[in-house]
Amino acid sequence: MIKEFKKIDSEIKENYSLKELTTFKIGGKAKYFSLVINEEQLINLTKLCQENNISFLVIGGGSNILISDNGFDGLVIKLKLNILNIQDNIIEVSADIPLANLIGQSVATNLSGLELMTGIPGTIGGAVVGNAGGYGTQISDYLEKVIVLDDNYKLRELSNKDLNFKYRDSLLKENNWILIKVYLKLKLGNRQESLKEMIRISQDRFTKHPHFPSAGSTFKNIELNDEIINKLKEKNVDIPEKFFEYQKIPAAFLIEQLDLKGKMIGGAQVSEKHANHIVNVKNASADDIIQLISLIKMKVRDEYGIELQEEVRYIGF
């Protein structure tokens, strides 16, 4: 099979370690690995996989994923299209561009909005798929349209409305389409004011967030409704006013209420700085992370009757 792959990508690798491609710094090897530099190569590789019943996976910045210790028995693709064009207040950007780079370029050209996402790891592609956000904003607020490769290996244009954005969710999480390009419409802003905001958010994140390898937030925050309010009141939990303002209960709040900060299984730990971050403090295995996630979910469910949902995607399990 490797000979067939090499006809499309002469640089394709076998038994390629995925560990360093993730922010968790955890994971086994991919049977095959390709760094894809154009759409034609992507189409040909994925077609070949389908024809030969080989699983394939496209990864971006490696945040919000946990790869099995056994790796991935198929082809892992990492895009390297390197497209970033800014015309007036419209940005055309390929899915592989790191979100940090995009934010920096937008601010440098006096465009405003994305600076509120300063410090979110990963690529713009991953941010769109998971509708990433922070400090009262989310990527769907600025997205005009995307170009995807669909199941029939056709390039398809989808509007913001087509993507069915929800909290930390989009249509792209529910299918096998591959995000190729993103078009954003930002507001004209003030570079100096945006830089000040970036510094403020960076300092806030540095203070609150752990500095060990992690996948970012482990669990989605919980939408605040009467049912959740009643469940917490029954357990005599005081709900801070600011949670009503944002209409969310932070998962970290519930985890902290159960004194799980600092809890360890193997090399994995519930961060002592931010309870919604599981961190790799001592060469954690994927199994260590899974066990710790399971423990947290069980404790929150048993105590509050609330089912936490992971933001982290599981790969190779």
Q: What is residue 178's predicted lDDT score, i.e. its pLDDT?
A: 96
Q: What is residue 173's predicted lDDT score, i.e. its pLDDT?
A: 87
Q: Which of 63, 112, 217, 285 is catalytic?
A: 217
CB 61 within 8 A of CB 214: no
Backbone angles phi and psi of 10, in degrees to 5: -65, -15
Q: What is residue 258's predicted lDDT score, i.e. its pLDDT?
A: 96
Q: Which residues contact 291 (CB under 8 A, 6 or more apart)?
A: 265, 266, 268
pLDDT tens digits, 86-134:
999 999 999 999 999 999 999 999 999 999 999 998 999 999 999 998 8
CB 146 within 8 A of CB 156: no
Q: Which of 94, 194, 197, 311 is catalytic?
A: 311
CA separation for the pair 133, 260 (Å, rounded): 25
Whether the CA torsion 96, 100, 103, 108 is positive or negative: it is: negative
Q: What is residue 246's predicted lDDT score, i.e. its pLDDT?
A: 84
217 is catalytic: yes
CB 306 within 8 A of CB 258: no
Low-confidence ranges of the chain (pLDDT < 70): none
Structure tokens at 27: 């994971």
* Residue 225 CB neighbours (<10 A): 10
Q: What is residue 89's predicted lDDT score, i.e. its pLDDT?
A: 95
Q: Which of 112, 115, 140, 168 is catalytic?
A: 168
CB 184 within 8 A of CB 143: yes
Domains of the chain in start order, with CATH, are 2-79 (3.30.43.10), 84-193 (3.30.465.10), 212-315 (3.90.78.10)
Q: What is residue 310's predicted lDDT score, i.e. its pLDDT?
A: 95
Helix, strand or coil, per DSSP, at residue 87? strand
Q: Report the run of H or E that residue 105 belongs to, with start and end.
A: helix 99-108
140 is catalytic: no
Q: What is residue 135's predicted lDDT score, i.e. its pLDDT?
A: 84
In order of 22, 53, 80, the CA distances from 61 in angstroms are 7, 26, 11
311 is catalytic: yes
Q: What is residue 205's predicted lDDT score, i.e. its pLDDT?
A: 87
